Amino acid sequence: MKLIIANWKAYVATVKEAERLAKKVAQIKIKKGISVVLCPPFVFLDAVKKSMGRTVRLGAQDVFWKESGPYTGAITADMLKGLSVRTVIIGHSERRQHFLESDDIIRKKVDIALAEGFDVIICVGEQAREDAKAVPKLVGEQVRAALAGISKGALARITIAYEPIWAIGTGVSDTPDDALSAAIYIRKVVGDMFGATQANMLKVLYGGSVDSHTIRDFILQEGIDGVLVGRASTDKEEFTKMLSSL
């Protein structure tokens, strides 16, 4: 099964826009073997749930690391479950950069998401394309920190999205071969932590300026299990082309 995760970020501004976009996706004939998850802004989750039909799943862009309490603006796991959300994105580079989320906070979010039964998309990625050593150093550290202390059984509900930061929102994606190399390295790290069997079962996605011209190049890579799509997933025509091309 190949995963297409649509992260709408903060590009969708109104409920009507979110509803139209979800309905458009629901009309696309999704081929067998493809699973699509829509991750709208929190305030649109309910509207999207009612508009997206049964061919796609609902996901959230983040989750808070505490169950409840005096945390103004926090979105907890129980709130998400009440809206039928079953997938959450954790550790996106934009959360790390703009919201100053540390590896420790990300691990806490992974812990509560797993404890509450969510499928978890953990984002990792290096800063600069020129640094050939960035993937094994930074990405390895991010993977090890996010997965520290979890059980082998819980690993089955984790997907890791490799998103080189330099490619996000730039219009310049990584090469499929380099993305595959990063996926292989991520599985090596997981293998060192949990064993070869778990590493081989791990799903690894690519994200970073994926569009209708490049999606097949990544999807067809045997070692890449799907893509995490950002802004392009909020363009109805472009996202339709992406899904129709598979």
DSSP tag of 75: -
**What are the distances in angstroms from CA 60 to CA 6, 85, 213?**
10, 7, 26
- Residue for token digits 């806490």? 108
Contacts of residue 127, Cβ cutoff 8 Å, sequence gap at least 6: 134, 138, 165, 166
The Cα–Cα gap between 10 and 13 comes to 7
Identity at 24, one-letter amino acid code: K
The catalytic residue among 92, 94, 101, 126 is 92
Q: Output the CA angle 100-91-199, nearest 5 degrees.
A: 145
- Residue for token digits 């009612």? 50
Identity at 73, one-letter amino acid code: G
Closest C-alpha to 2, from 210, 234, 238 = 210
CB 9 within 8 A of CB 59: no
Asked if 163 is an active-site residue, the reply is yes
CB 109 within 8 A of CB 25: no
The Cα–Cα gap between 187 and 191 comes to 6
The Cα–Cα gap between 145 and 94 comes to 18
The catalytic residue among 94, 116, 163, 238 is 163
Asked if 141 is an active-site residue, the reply is no
Query: What positions carry a catalytic annotation?
Result: 92, 163
